[in-house]
Structure 1
Amino acid sequence: MNRNIELNKLSLNLATSLLAIILVVFILWATQTVVIPLLFSIILAVMVFPIARLMERIGMNRIFSTVLSLLFAILIFAGLSYLIVMQVIDISKDAATITVKLEKLFNEGLRWVTSTFHISQNELSDKALKELESAMSTISKFAMNFFSSFGSVLTSGILVPIFAFFFLYYRDFFKTFFFKAFKSSPREKIEETLEKMYSALQNYMVGQITVMSIVAILNTIGLYFIGVQYAWFFGVLASLLMILPYVGIAIGSIFPAIFALATMDSPYYALGIVGWFQFVQFLEGNFITPNIVGSKVSLNPMVSMLTIILGGMLFGFAGFILALPIAAILKVVFDSIPQLESFGYLLGDPEIENKKLAQEEKSSTTEDKLEDDESQDQQSD
């Protein structure tokens, strides 16, 4: 009888948890117009908070320190965007020459395929045209959706710094809210959890920016020695595409490879570019990111990929960017709640989590041994 009651309780708790998760996901999806800029504003506030705090320590008013730190971040973003746009304009001046060269390469490739695989050129051309029409239809739909949502994108661009300002200016107010919301928990525990959440998000973002900068330098060096024009532009562009984890650098190699095919006299330059970018991706995945980001934020690679996919399904392109920072925060929250500690373990890197467990077991064994020694000393006395 007791066993049936326990099973019923377990089933009820599981059903309640699943229902709560589904409800939360639905609310996030339904309110994403507000949720997305809110999440980006939290990231922006965390990134500029050290600057604002430094200004306050030297005697500046909180309003001015908050505004100036946000303006500093906006100027950096605007400057980088301006440089990229100007490079795109310069490259577009040679668009006619590039198009002619690509068309010539396409015709040569078409002739090679027809002669090698004995396929009719007309048949192959018809298939290529059908695929091109399908691709153009998809691209046109994407462009229409983008321009139709341009207003919401512009609105988000305005809301993000506004929300970030309120998060920075009223940070003490929001901290007090957490103290009141979790009165049953010790104040020190809440402060420790909030500090860990802040550190996890800041370490992840700073680590990612550092990795992207190193990758941009490596990309640029490789493209420069290969002899590609606009080396820094393509190198930085590929590093910025790292906001799409695991595939960003590979996608970024396509653009300079196509440009090399159109502007250089041998296809081996394009192969060299793809090879170099793959080498950089190998370094990034096995040495750069694990030593810079992995040492600060330990996330399970498999769960991270799943989180990215789910984030994309929920929020679209913004979800790809927000998935891992949110996962880093959730890990801290799960680790701080005993009932959810198992989920925090699941999100963590297996090697790091197993080391933590080994240390905890070792410390507990040492404590037990000390207690036994003390009890034996008391008995001997």
Structure 2
Amino acid sequence: MPRSLATVSLALLTVTLIGWLLHVGRSLLLPFVIALVAWYLINTVALGFKKLPLGPFRLPGWVALPAALLTIFGVSSFVFDLVTANLTELAGDAPLYQTRLEQVFNELMASLQLQDQVELQDLLPSGIVSKLISAGASIITTVAGSASLVFIYVLFLLMEQSTFDRKLMRLFTSKERAEVAFAIRAAVGKSVRHYVNIKTAVSVMTGLLTSALLSFIGLPYAALFGFIAFLLNYIPTIGSLISVIFPSMLALVYFKDLSQFLIIAGGLGLIQFSIGNILEPRLMGTSLNLSGLVIMLSLAFWGTLWGVTGMVLCVPLTVLGLIVCAQFPATRPIAILLSADGEVGEPLALHEHADIAGSTENHPKA
């Protein structure tokens, strides 16, 4: 019993220490994490280019990889310029929208005929519209400030990726251990790739439908809100809610009657519900095998550590933890708790006697 208590205490201490280091070192880690995501996207797009049907020919790797890099860079630059222009225009109109919001709120309070009148400042911070725009601008500024560092990281990852397999092979003292490591990496890559591909497809669909609906109704900044819907769709649960609230609030103060507001709020809610609760679960299936409660806890944990970036990455990071924990007897109970149904499969040992628990039986003798 004392030994078990010491083990649990040591595990909790280790987790706490790792969490503290992740939080303290976020300014150093986040650019590298973003670079890893960009590197993954570039390789995924390059693989797609190599599979393009060009008759009997296929694009060679030395052409597909630069083409993918230029594509990602071009799309990122276009989106960044579009969002920056919309935010700048929105910042100029912020005082007008703030005044209109206060007017709408006062009219609502007057219609309710409350004995004790409530002011907008009692419920929301003063200048809430300007503060929200400033928060969005600070995120853009932070991304732009770290863009050069991220680009350097991506270039080094692309230049050294041909050596990754050889380095991983030489990390292990036996062929069996290396094969298990490659099998774990393949399982993680398959699950994350499945999640990212489907999530990106439905996020693009969500952004396009959001922009189309807002443009049809006549609400300004439709492209900006479409991009926000695309980005927030990667954040489980609360992302969809926020992407409906922002344009609905603007519609409330932009239009003079409530009909457009109700159409936008209802239409965006219908889009989010249809894609998030009907289409996406059918496409995703049960491949992730993550508990809904675990996803919410992971969202809170990574959001506290790394902010919006952590919220976007919480599901892939949790999938990574589940698959790795499922391979070792000591951490297998953790994988079972993280899973949705308790079924985490058998360890990915490729040989009957492969030692993946850390013993020294297969180590070569000196």
Give the TM bin, normalised by the shorter chain: 0.7 to 0.9
- Asked if 1:83 is matched to 2:100, the reply is no
Deviations 1:17-69 (A, max 9, x none): 222222222222232222112222222212211344556974454xx765543
Partners of 2:210 and 2:226 within 8 A in 1: yes
- Asked if 1:190 is matched to 2:192, the reply is no
Alignment of 1:76-225 (within 5 A): 76-88=75-87, 98=97, 101-113=100-112, 116-120=113-117, 124-125=118-119, 128-129=120-121, 134-136=125-127, 153-184=143-174, 185-223=176-214
Where does residue 15 of structure 2 map in the other structure?
A: 21
Task: Give the structure with the larger helix fraction.
Answer: 1
1:289 to 280, 284, 290: 280
Query: Closer, same or farther in 2 for the Cα pair 1:104/1:18, shift >3 Å?
Result: closer
Where does residue 239 of structure 2 map in the other structure?
A: 248
Partners of 1:43 and 1:201 within 8 A in 2: no
The root-mean-square deviation of aligned C-alpha atoms, in Å, is: 3.6
Separation in structure 1 between the aligned mates of residue 133 and residue 96 of structure 2, nearest angstrom: 27
- Asked if 1:309 is matched to 2:300, the reply is yes
One-letter amino acid of the counterpart of residue 114, structure 2:
F
Bigger Rg over Cα: 1
TM-score, normalised relative to structure 1: 0.74
- Asked if 1:343 is matched to 2:334, the reply is yes
Query: Closer, same or farther in 2 for the Cα pair 1:272/1:137, shift >3 Å?
Result: closer
| CA positional deviation for 1:155 | 4.6
Partners of 1:84 and 1:233 within 8 A in 2: yes
SS in 2 for 1:262: helix
One-letter amino acid of the counterpart of residue 163, structure 2:
F
SS in 1 for 2:289: coil
Partners of 2:91 and 2:130 within 8 A in 1: no
| CA positional deviation for 1:304 | 0.8
SS in 1 for 2:257: coil
- Asked if 1:325 is matched to 2:316, the reply is yes
Separation in structure 1 between the aligned mates of residue 162 and residue 82 of structure 2, nearest angstrom: 38
Deviations 1:333-354 (A, max 9, x none): 122333322322322232xx54
Partners of 2:94 and 2:129 within 8 A in 1: no
Deviations 1:199-225 (A, max 9, x none): 222222222111112222333454455
Where does residue 71 of structure 1 map in the other structure?
A: 70
| CA positional deviation for 1:303 | 0.3
One-letter amino acid of the counterpart of residue 242, structure 1:
N
Alignment of 1:220-231 (within 5 A): 220-223=211-214, 226=217, 228-229=219-220, 231=222
- Asked if 1:41 is matched to 2:32, the reply is no
SS in 2 for 1:182: coil
Separation in structure 1 between the aligned mates of residue 71 and residue 212 of structure 2, nearest angstrom: 28
Query: Closer, same or farther in 2 for the Cα pair 1:209/1:227, shift >3 Å?
Result: same
SS in 2 for 1:339: coil
Separation in structure 2 between the aligned mates of residue 250 and residue 58 of structure 1, nearest angstrom: 42
Where does residue 372 of structure 1 map in the other structure?
A: none
Separation in structure 2 between the aligned mates of residue 18 and residue 178 of structure 1, nearest angstrom: 29
SS in 2 for 1:299: coil
Note the residue ranges of structure 2 that are not aligned, 5 or more in a row.
52-57, 347-366
- Percent of matched pairs sharing the same residue: 22
SS in 1 for 2:337: helix
- Asked if 1:10 is matched to 2:4, the reply is yes
Separation in structure 2 between the aligned mates of residue 86 and residue 158 of structure 1, nearest angstrom: 21
